[in-house]
Amino acid sequence: MMTTRASLHTLGCRLNQAETSILGEGLKRKGFELVEFGQPTDLLVLNTCAVTEDAERTSRYLIRKTLKHSPHAFIAVTGCYAQTGMESLKQQAGIDLIVGHQFKLDLPAFLPPAHELRKRPAAEIRHAKAIERGDFELPYFAESEATRALLKIQDGCSAMCSFCIIPFARGHERSRTFEDIQREVEVLAARGYREVVLTGVNIGQYAHQGRDFCSLLRWFDQAAGFERIRISSIEPTTVGEELLDLLASSKKLCPYLHIPLQSGDDQILQAMNRRHTIKSYIKLIEKALVTIPNLGLGTDLMVGFPGETETAFQNTLAVATDFPFSYLHVFPYSSRPGTAAVRLKQRILPASIKKRADLLLALDRAKRLAFHNKQIGKTISVLFESGTRDGYSFGTASNFTRVGITVSGDFQNHILPVTITAATDRCAFGHITSDSQTNPAMAIPTL
């Protein structure tokens, strides 16, 4: 009997990636054989993003691309675009199933058995306008081929930033039950993961039966089976001294923070309905840099928000230049239907947006190089991934530095001390440090 193939593809954030892994586990339990995205398939599950117009456009393109090499493939679409753009997706030919966020992780249950999969004359809709606000559990736990496990602890956001469609796509803040987190942690530890990345939309708002985010982190710090716990992107208003002290004192919590700034101008932050000011953000970052040694620090910056004058942009550029960020994520503003920012009139010309984005992207490269150069001479712990590329084995340091070494051998899922000897803006390079092996400094490779 022939197996029925299924492929999955994720657009967007780490939370989406975590949920795709869960969906993959559900498909395997239903009898599907998972194949790499882009290969001929009988089923495509596309986990979409709606943060930008480009993400929506990419979703539509990937559906058409899949139907070219697999014209009879059953197409199931879920994720943020399925929640906010359902009417648009209903008009696209070839889609068989559209599942909104309320029912996202139940998607495999809406499919017929693998051997009975058939195209449908019209898309079936599983959609709810109102997403439940209560605490949640996951239906099953996924196993990933990656060395770092993504662990969903929270969903939704109630902040209502004026540019952001996520509250409309994912609903209000809600937290995963602590008992369900415990169960998955036991499974992940038994599978041998060395690092767990905590994911969510607004993870600093985690709350379940009297346990807040910091108390959850303290529990993780004592839990058996992991060497590293990493926090994904976290809002500045949810980072306090208690969290910074935990990151500084813990042997498991990674010295890494990604704290979105969005703009370096207070008037723009106010128009964005952000809940921090430049003064409060600077105070937080200064405290973090003093408290946490060798901190890896990233941020998000948006350019072209309506009303962003040249002066406002220069304020953003100045803040980004002055602080020792290890990298910058730069996003052009994208108008999202239903958000408050749509009503703002002072639109920025596309040419100006591109010019500003290019300046910040050049600064990002300089920041990455400066941070990697700062690691030279230090010995840092690196979790290695599988395989090699161009003769190098690569991994990620606890402070999120990308590291390559030339030593041959399979170091997958091993955490090893590496002394950094060279750097580019893309990666730091070094050698494993041990009593039995001391390699000379390496030449910088061309990657």
Separation of alpha carbons 78 and 421, rounded Å: 45
Distance of CA 241 to the CA centre of its chain: 24
Separation of alpha carbons 14 and 302, rounded Å: 19
Q: What is the pLDDT of residue 410?
A: 78
DSSP run (H or E) holding 319: helix 310-322
Domains and CATH numbers, the chain: 4-126 (3.40.50.12160), 148-370 (3.80.30.20), 379-432 (2.40.50)
Strand partners, 381: 417
Give, in degrees to the nearest 5, the angle at Cα 335 between 358 and 205: 90
pLDDT in tens, 229-252: 999 999 999 999 999 999 999 999
* Higher-scoring residue by pLDDT: 202, 128: 202
pLDDT of 435 higher than 50: no
Q: What is the pLDDT of residue 357?
A: 98
DSSP run (H or E) holding 258: strand 256-258
Burial class (CB in 10 A: 0-12, 13-18, 19+), 337: exposed
Amino acid at 90: K
Secondary structure letter of residue 223 according to DSSP: -
* 206 neighbors 175 (Cβ within 8 angstroms): yes
* Percentage, residues of the chain above pLDDT 70: 96
pLDDT in tens, 4-17: 999 999 999 999 99
pLDDT in tens, 338-364: 999 999 999 999 999 999 999 999 999
* Percentage, residues of the chain above pLDDT 90: 85
Separation of alpha carbons 139 and 131, rounded Å: 17
Most confident of 70-79, 407-416, 426-435: 70-79
pLDDT of 407 higher than 90: no
* Higher-scoring residue by pLDDT: 441, 86: 86
Candidates 157, 195, 181, 325; CA nearest to 257 is 325
Separation of alpha carbons 169 and 99, rounded Å: 12
Q: What is the pLDDT of residue 245?
A: 98
Separation of alpha carbons 236 and 243, rounded Å: 11
Separation of alpha carbons 427 and 390, rounded Å: 14
Q: What are phi and psi of 197, to 5 degrees?
A: -105, 120
pLDDT of 424 higher than 80: yes
Q: Quick one: pLDDT band at residue 146, thresholds 50, 70, 90?
A: confident
Q: What is the pLDDT of residue 141?
A: 86
Contacts of 216 (CB under 8 A, 6+ apart): 153, 178, 181, 206
Separation of alpha carbons 106 and 139, rounded Å: 8
